[in-house]
Amino acid sequence: MKKSFWIFLILNLSFAVGQTISGTVTDENGNGLAGANVTVEGTNMGAAANSSGSYSISVALGTYTVSASFIGYNSSSKSVIVGDGGATANFSLASSALAGAGVFVTGTRAAGRTSMKSPTPIDGFDNQTLRRQGNGDMTETLKNQVPSFNATPLTGDGAAFVRPTSMRGLPPDNVLVLTNSKRRHRSALIYHFGAAMNVGAQAVDVGMIPSIAVKRLEILRDGASAQYGSD
């Protein structure tokens, strides 16, 4: 008698879990939403819709709440009663607009030249890039490559020999020039003409550096006083 009881219990359990909740998940036009998620709330049971939007979930007899969701569509839920013949739950999801955070894109004139992992933007140029400019004058080369680098046009005064250079509109002697990690000496010319902020400035003669002799050039466009000291 005890043996018969256990056989009956096993058969009854097998029968109970053999039911399914099936149906389709479509959009407002009746097109199947492949990959839509269908879950049975309060359980760990669920399924993903196939290419035609159909799904099937094996459950036991009872009452369940079934939910369907898909990216870009409003979720939907239905209550179903699973009997001996299973249950059907079809979903038609309405599309919804996704609101995301604003995206800011920063562009450069040359792809991959700026180091984004540095605390401040760094533009790097190898010797091949400098040679392609076809100009041995470092001042002209920098003008063509760096938007924030400016050089005073040649005039009849001392600027005809030592052209004042600046970055971001600052005075010429506010630009720190390092050669092999050492400060480069300033020129003997003291500027007198031009903008008021340039009067009395004594800057490095960048044009004296031959671009053909430079292996690599790096430019920090923002302040670097904390790293190299203030000029």
Q: Delimit the domains of the chain by residue range.
A: 13-92, 114-224
pLDDT > 90? residue 158: no
Look at 6-15, 26-35, 61-70, 210-219 and tell me which has the smallest mean pLDDT.
6-15
Rg (the chain; Cα; Å): 36
In this structure, are residues 218 and 123 in contact, taking their beta carbons and an 8 Å threshold?
A: yes
CA nearest 96: which of 69, 72, 124?
72
pTM of the model: 0.40
Which tokens sit at 217? 């050039």
Position 150: which residue type? N
CATH number listed for the domain at residues 114-224: 2.170.130.10
CATH class of 13-92: mainly beta
pLDDT-derived band at 180, boundaries 50, 70, 90:
confident
Give the per-residue pLDDT at 1: 46
Max avg pLDDT among 83-87, 137-141, 222-226: 83-87
The Cβ-side half-sphere exposure at 75, using a 13 Å CA radius, reads: 10
Q: Which residue has the higher pLDDT, 225 or 43?
A: 43
Tokens of 137: 């004058």
Neighbours of 159 (CB within 10 A): 18
Decide: residue 66, CB within 10 A, 0-12 exposed, 13-18 middle, 19+ buried. buried
CA distances from 143 to 148, 165, 198 (A): 8, 9, 19
CB atoms within 10 A of CB 68: 28
